[in-house]
Amino acid sequence: MPTPAHEFCLTDFGRAVQSALDRLPISRSHVHIMLEPNLTLRSPCTGFSATPDRSLFASPVEVGRGVLLAVVECAFSQSHEALMKKVRAEVEGWPSILLVILILVTEERDYHCPMEGTRTWSFFSQRDACFLEDTFLALPPSIEACAVKFDETTSTSDSNSTDRPEAESPM
């Protein structure tokens, strides 16, 4: 199942390729170049069926068969081995492929919001407004240190004020 990270990469890549194709000094009356998303292909050579994330075709406008020039595969959840097996089968099935582009999306670790009842959850849930980006990024690694500093600076300010002090690291 495609994820937002998967789709974003492919959408951004597609825009860049389409922009480059539009600037190619070729006659559009003779050659048609298309970047197709999720097009199911069946190899005339091996019978292998595949659905690359993007397929780049060139075909004569008047008469003739199109040629598959490149495929793009974006992997987020599938293993490296499974991706390479699919790509090998695509290249064997379509000898006209000149280029394979692999986009490997990885993440360091899954994001988990603070669990309810923890000090981190309490710290952020008590705020009636979100931090500005700079303020948030300036928070110290220890939420305890941040909470102490934040409480010290807000205890003297008007509680109805929407202005929030900058959090500083005690170091």
> Among the three residues 78, 104, 130, which one is the final residue of a domain in this structure?
104
Domain that holds residue 72: 4-104
Q: How far is CA 89 from the centre of its chain?
A: 25
- Would you give the DSSP letter of residue 138? T
Encode pLDDT of 6-48 as tens digits. 677 888 888 999 899 889 898 888 888 889 888 888 888 888 8
Euclidean distance between CA atoms 99 and 90, whole angstroms? 11
Strand partners for 67: 58
- The series of mean pLDDT values per 10 residues for the chain, 171 residues long, is 70 89 87 88 85 91 86 85 90 90 78 80 85 84 64 49 45 42
Number of Cβ within 10 Å of residue 93's Cβ equals 19
Task: Let me know whether 15 and 95 are in one domain.
Answer: yes
Tell me if residue 82 falls in helix, strand or coil: helix
pLDDT at residue 2, rounded to an integer: 59
Global pTM reads 0.57
Of 80, 104, 128, the residue that ends a domain is 104
